[in-house]
């Protein structure tokens, strides 16, 4: 890398580290995807559990750019964990992710607000490129941005782009290879605010600019410049402790000074084609979708439509997949030689696989709808309209994103709480998010609902199964906000909460992005959850096919006796023998040992086995039931649903999976904490085993008592 006065050249650098930073909802992640394509990897930033997305692209045959997608932030005054990461990477030159070049992505349709962060990064005196995103929207609004004049006023290279349409992306790549100006002048004279303190700081440590010294004054605890230089750290600490610093006053003064300059720049560089601007489509639509009454009604209608559609559209491919596995099982049974290996393949692996693959159509539909709602900008509106409601329960509008994300998976949902600045609101959100019905519950819900509500059963135009499914999701949400209300009164905190969210403009969804999201989630479901389900299915096959001592041989001997099989046809004899074998197996012994505790809920020992295995992952319930009923039923011409539907309670002679049992199970799975991954991420986010322990026991107690109440009322 060579320097030429106020310019730097990176064309001869083999690997160029580039940071992407910008306000939330500025299109930064879209640009990251456009720049890197599929050449991405995900990890954590050093020392923190915040997701680090990095990707690579070839600029020339000799130069590769590594792009690091920093969490969104409005300024270099970190208020949340995510914002601290962006601050630390940009302000600490010793950070391993500190970039050679920073691309600041700005929403061109809201340039004034975006320029605040741009101006702060310029004052750090590091090479900067300003990427003006959404230029196509600016043109539609009738505005014109003078990019050349803006570049001159800011002293940095400016490139106009539309990340969604991939317009200007190649020009942005080329800009990295051209001589880049290093900002030479201060955007504002920061010494007017804290001259004496800045001079004292610069006497102790060498910094790139006065603003970098100002950042040390304001955010000393967040900067790790001095971790290996304890003498300098002690001196800085002494200077700051000896001075009474009103941080709020310093930040307010800085903000006022910056906006004075920003206002002048915006006036010079943006012109409007007409004096009177028409109300945009976004504003018109927002007047309806964010209405204080209609907004809630529309949101509930959207949810209702999603769940009705999931059951309606997924019914046919699910039936095809079930039929395919029945055919595969029959083929394997008649083609493979009898023995332990064939038994494992048929009643362990294939049975377990059927419990995973059959629910892929519903997983596809659920994530398709979630991706579309996010990509269109509607999810941000949901956060906005829910903020007032959430505050009554100890949460805020930012809590809605984790709660809604929890419908997909609680693990990334809990990780997304890092954007919540208030410790109390963040802990409450972390604790109640698992009560939202995640996609892992969907296979369980679908299986049990199909046992009590035939697919053709409707209430008017509405599918009965869809209504039950939506009710379960609403029950989860009501349980979450009720638990939050209780925790609001238990937890004590003095810090004030705030909610700031930029509402993006409405856009048509990018179908490629939606498709990649679906593909990623289905792969996650099939391979991550699938591996657990198959492993447990194999273990269960062994436990349900083997027994202590010679119990299995004794049962076979019993049924080979002519007196035992007298007046009994072959099918009935096989069914009775298989049932006794299953009960005598290791799995049967395990199930019988916990049956007394779960009998008041309407559960037998077979369901008990499924409850135990479900603590690895909720969706394991289906694979477990499939394996158990395959081991205990020699008729492989039926699907798992048919086998469970045909199960008879030996005491009453009625169907085992009655309405009371099914709804008791549904409520249990709606509330119980049956996900080791979620408990692990709660510990990782809170750094204390107290919170996952409390979460496990309070959700377990809620599930048990609620299930008990439902069964006793309905039986």
What pLDDT is recorded for position 225? 53
Reading the block at residue 599, the tokens are: 């009998």
pLDDT at 433 over 60: yes
- pLDDT tens-digit readout, 363-404: 788 778 878 887 888 887 887 888 778 888 888 777 877 887
**Across residues 675-680, what is the average pLDDT?**
77
**699-707 average pLDDT score:** 95
- As a whole number, mean pLDDT of residues 213-236 equals 69
What whole-number percentage of the chain has pLDDT above 70?
85
pTM for this predicted structure: 0.64
pLDDT for the residue numbered 703: 95
Q: What is the CATH number of domain 2-181?
A: 3.40.50.300
Question: Buried (b) or exposed (e) across 522-543, using 16+ Cβ within 10 A?
Answer: eebbbeebbebbbebbebbbbb
* CA 277 – CA 268 distance, rounded (Å): 19
User: Which of the given ranges, 41-50, 60-69, 583-592, has the highest pLDDT on average?
Assistant: 60-69
Which has the closest alpha carbon to 27: 507, 656, 639?
507
| Three-state DSSP state, 105 | strand
Tokens read off for 655? 């169907």
3-class DSSP state of 176? helix
For the ranges 110-124, 219-233, 546-560, 573-587, the maximum mean pLDDT occurs at 110-124
Q: Integer distance in angstroms from the first to the last C-alpha of the chain?
A: 77
Q: Report pLDDT for 230.
A: 65
* Pick from 198, 175, 204: nearest CA to 186: 198
- Highest mean pLDDT of the ranges 463-472, 543-552, 589-598: 589-598
β pairing state of 40-44 and 51-58:
antiparallel
The mean predicted confidence, pLDDT, of the chain is: 80
Rg (CA), the chain: 31
User: Which residue ranges make up each domain of the chain?
Assistant: 2-181, 294-440+458-473+483-490, 515-714
Q: pLDDT band for 223, please (50, 70, 90 cuts).
A: low
> Are the C-beta atoms of residues 293 and 604 closer than 8 Å to each other?
no
Q: What is the mean pLDDT of residues 505-523?
A: 78
Task: For residues 286-305, give the mean pLDDT.
Answer: 86
Question: Does position 602 have pLDDT exceeding 70, yes or no?
Answer: yes
| Phi, psi for 400 (deg, rounded to 5) | -65, -40
The pLDDT value given to residue 44: 43
C-alpha separations of 94 from 18, 90, 97, 198, 227 in Å: 15, 10, 8, 20, 10
| 178-192, 467-481, 488-502, 671-685, range with greatest mean pLDDT | 467-481
Check whether 114 has a pLDDT greater than 50. yes
């Amino acid at each position: 890398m060579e320097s030429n006065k106020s310019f730097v050249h990176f064309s001869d650098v083999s690997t160029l580290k580039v940071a992407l930073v910008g306000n939330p909802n500025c299109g930064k992640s879209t640009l990251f995807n456009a720049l890197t394509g599929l050449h991405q990897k995900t990890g954590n930033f050093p020392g923190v559990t915040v997701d680090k997305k990095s990707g690579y692209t070839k600029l020339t045959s000799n130069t590769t750019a590594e792009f690091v997608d920093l969490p969104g932030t409005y300024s270099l005054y970190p208020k949340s964990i995510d914002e601290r990461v962006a601050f630390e990477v940009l302000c600490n030159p010793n950070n391993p992710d500190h970039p050679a070049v920073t691309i600041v992505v700005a929403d061109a349709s809201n340039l004034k607000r975006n320029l605040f962060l741009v101006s702060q990064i310029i004052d750090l005196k590091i090479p900067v490129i300003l990427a003006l995103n959404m230029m196509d929207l600016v043109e539609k609004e009738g505005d014109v941005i003078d990019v050349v004049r803006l570049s001159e006023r800011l002293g940095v290279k400016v490139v106009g782009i539309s990340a969604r349409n991939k317009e200007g992306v190649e020009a942005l790549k080329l800009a990295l290879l051209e001589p880049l100006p290093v900002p030479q002048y201060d955007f504002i004279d920061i010494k007017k605010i804290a001259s004496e303190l800045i001079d004292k700081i610069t006497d102790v440590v060498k910094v790139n600019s006065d603003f970098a010294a100002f950042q040390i004054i304001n955010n000393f605890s967040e900067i790790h410049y001095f971790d290996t230089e304890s003498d300098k750290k002690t001196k800085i600490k002494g200077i700051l402790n000896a001075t009474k610093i009103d941080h709020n006053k310093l930040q307010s003064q800085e903000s006022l000074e910056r906006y004075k300059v920003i206002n002048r720049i915006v006036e010079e560089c943006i012109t409007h084609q007409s004096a009177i601007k028409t109300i945009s489509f976004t504003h018109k639509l927002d007047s309806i979708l964010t209405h204080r009454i209609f907004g809630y009604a529309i949101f509930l209608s959207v949810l209702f439509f999603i769940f009705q559609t999931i059951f309606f559209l997924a019914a046919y491919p699910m039936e095809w997949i079930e039929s395919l596995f029945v055919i595969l099982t029959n083929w394997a049974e008649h083609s493979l030689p009898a023995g332990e290996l064939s038994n494992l393949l048929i009643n362990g692996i294939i049975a377990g696989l059927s419990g995973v693959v059959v629910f892929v159509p519903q997983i596809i539909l659920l994530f398709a709808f979630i991706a579309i709602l996010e990509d269109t900008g509607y999810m941000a509106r949901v956060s906005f309209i829910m903020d007032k409601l959430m505050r009554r329960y100890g949460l805020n509008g930012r809590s809605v994103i984790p709660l809604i994300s929890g419908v997909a998976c609680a693990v990334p949902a809990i990780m997304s709480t890092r954007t919540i600045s208030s410790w109390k609101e963040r802990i409450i959100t972390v604790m109640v998010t698992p009560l939202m019905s995640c996609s892992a519950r969907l296979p369980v819900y679908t299986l049990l609902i199909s046992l009590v509500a035939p697919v053709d059963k409707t209430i008017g135009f509405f599918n009965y199964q869809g209504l039950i499914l939506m009710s379960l999701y609403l029950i989860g949400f009501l349980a979450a906000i009720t638990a939050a209300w209780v925790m609001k009164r238990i937890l004590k905190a003095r810090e004030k909460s705030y909610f700031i969210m930029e509402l993006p403009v409405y856009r048509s969804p990018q179908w490629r992005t939606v498709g990649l999201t679906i593909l990623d989630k289905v792969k996650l479901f099939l391979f991550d959850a699938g591996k657990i389900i198959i492993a447990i299915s194999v273990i269960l096959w062994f436990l349900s096919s083997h027994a202590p001592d010679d119990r299995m041989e004794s049962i076979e001997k019993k049924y080979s006796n002519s007196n035992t099989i007298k007046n009994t046809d072959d099918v009935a004899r096989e069914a009775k023998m298989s049932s006794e074998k299953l009960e005598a197996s290791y799995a049967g012994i395990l199930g019988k040992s916990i049956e007394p505790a779960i009998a008041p809920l309407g559960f037998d020992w077979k369901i008990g086995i499924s409850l135990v295995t479900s603590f690895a992952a909720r969706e394991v319930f289906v694979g477990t039931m499939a394996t158990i009923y395959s081991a205990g039923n020699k008729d492989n011409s039926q699907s798992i649903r048919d086998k469970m539907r045909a199960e008879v309670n030996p005491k009453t002679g009625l169907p085992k999976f009655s309405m009371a049992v099914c709804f008791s199970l549904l409520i249990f799975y709606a509330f119980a904490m049956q996900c080791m991954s979620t408990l692990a991420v709660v510990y990782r986010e809170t750094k204390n085993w107290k919170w996952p322990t409390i979460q496990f026991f309070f959700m377990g107690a809620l599930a048990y008592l609620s299930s008990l109440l439902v069964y006793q009322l309905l039986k």
